[in-house]
Amino acid sequence: MQEISQSLSLAVALITSLDSTLLSIAGLSLRVSGIAVLAAALLALPFGAWLALARFPGRQGVIAVLNGMMGLPPVVVGLLVYLMLSRAGPLGPLGILFTPAAMMIAQALLIFPIIAALARQVIEDAWGEYREQLVSLNASRAQCMRALLWDMRFTLTTAVLAGFGRAIAEVGAVMIVGGNIDGVTRLMTTAIALETSKGDLPLALALGVVLITMVITINLAAQWVKSTAMKKHG
């Protein structure tokens, strides 16, 4: 208990002093996960919408696999991405192992199934309500997908935030593909792991508090935007 109160005051001190190392690590975490979620969402949302509306043999199997991949172990994803990006691997010549780009790729892969699976469910449910009207209007499949994605934007924002939360919280994948290099690929989560391994538990916990605060703040902001927009648009 004493450690927790010690950590809380340390966390407050770190935040208010705007410690420069903390700022750069926090900034990097936001940047890596932000880009990862943007890239993943740009592909996962249309994919989920397409899957919701498509009908082909084996579709149920694809949905089951997609849902299952929401539980991909991050460390396994990290290992696979490492093997791809390693110099000995197919994408080695790109030279992006142990850089933020590698971490963005790993995180994007990790959260793609989350956003896609949730989008698929949301759009499929909405399709039940909208189908007859959209078919009556002769909307093409692509037009239906876009109309539904836009109409369900509030629910889909929650799915995207879920993906972001997963990305910014994971440590296994980014540790392997990033290497936790000081000043280059050290994120909040890998810094916490490092301080824990050095036995500096109060600092580790303080960093954890800062991380949680960051994530909650982002979610609060998103919620505010959502509710303002919902009041305006129904």
Partner 1 sequence: MVNRGQSIDKKGVVISDNARNLLVALTGKSRLLVATLVGTTVLNIASPDGAGTAFAQEKFIVVASTTSTQDSGLFGHILPHFKAKTGIEVRVVAQGTGQALAIAKKGDADVVFVHDKAAELKFVEEGFGVYRRDVMVNDFVIVGPNSDPAKSSGNDVIAALKKIAAGKSPFVSRGDKSGTHAAELRYWKAADIDPQAGKGTWYRETGSGMGPTLNTASAMNAYAFTDRGTWLSFKNRGELSLLVEGDTKLFNQYGVMLVNPAKHAHVKKQMGMQFIDWITSPEGQAAIAAYKIEGQQLYFPNFVAQRR
Partner 2 sequence: MADAKILPLAVVGLGFRVGDISVLDGATFDIAPGSRNIVLGPNGAGKSVMLRLLHGLLTPTSGRVGWSNPDALAVRRAQAMVFQRPVMLRRSARENVEFALHVAGVRNVRNAADLALDRAGLMRLADRPARLCSGGEQQRIALARAWALQPEVLFLDEPTASLDPAATNAIEEAVNAMHRAGTTIIMTTHDLGQARRLADRVLFLNHGRLVEDAPAVSFFAQPTSPDAAAFIRGELLW
Which DSSP symbol is given to 95? -
- Binding residues among 85-144 for partner 1 as defined by CB under 8 A: 86-89, 92-101, 104, 131, 135-136, 138, 140-142
**55 interacts with partner 2 by CB under 8 A:** no
Nearer to partner 1, 83 or 222 (CB): 83
Report in angstroms how near the CB of residue 199 gets to partner 1 at its nearest: 4
Q: Which does 124 bind (CB under 5 to 8 A by kind): partner 2, partner 1, none?
A: none
| C-alpha torsion 100→105→106→110, nearest 10 | 140
Q: Which of partner 2, partner 1, none does 150 bind, CB closer than 5 to 8 A by kind?
A: partner 2
Q: Is 125 in the site for partner 2 (CB under 8 A)?
A: no
Q: Nearest approach, Cβ of 216 to partner 1 (angstroms)? A: 25
The candidate with the shortest Cα–Cα distance to 213, out of 40, 29, 6, is: 29
What, of partner 2, partner 1, none, does residue 1 touch, CB below 5 to 8 Å by kind?
A: none
**Options 93-101, 116-124, 139-147, 159-167: segment touching partner 2 (CB under 8 A):** 139-147
Taking CB under 8 A as the criterion, which residues in 180-199 touch partner 1? 180-182, 184, 194, 196-199
Report how far apart the first and last C-alpha atoms of the chain are (Å, whole number).
46
Least Å from the CB of residue 125 to partner 2 = 14
Minimum Å distance from CB 97 to partner 1?
6
d(CA 22, CA 28): 10
DSSP state of 185: T
Q: In Å, what is the CA distance from 32 to each residue of 2, 20, 190?
A: 33, 18, 13
Nearest to 208 by CA among 177, 166, 168: 168
Element (H or E) spanning 170, and its range?
A: none
Choose from partner 1, partner 2, none: what does 233 bind? Cβ within 5-8 Å by kind. partner 2
Exposed/middle/buried for residue 57 (C-beta within 10 Å: 0-12, 13-18, 19+)? exposed
d(CA 117, CA 215): 22
The number of CA neighbours under 13 Å toward the Cβ of 197 is 7
Binding site for partner 1 (CB under 8 A): 31, 35, 38-39, 42-43, 46-47, 49-50, 53-57, 86-89, 92-101, 104, 131, 135-136, 138, 140-142, 145-146, 179-182, 184, 194, 196-201
Binding site for partner 2 (CB under 8 A): 129-130, 132-133, 135-140, 143, 147, 150-151, 153, 232-234
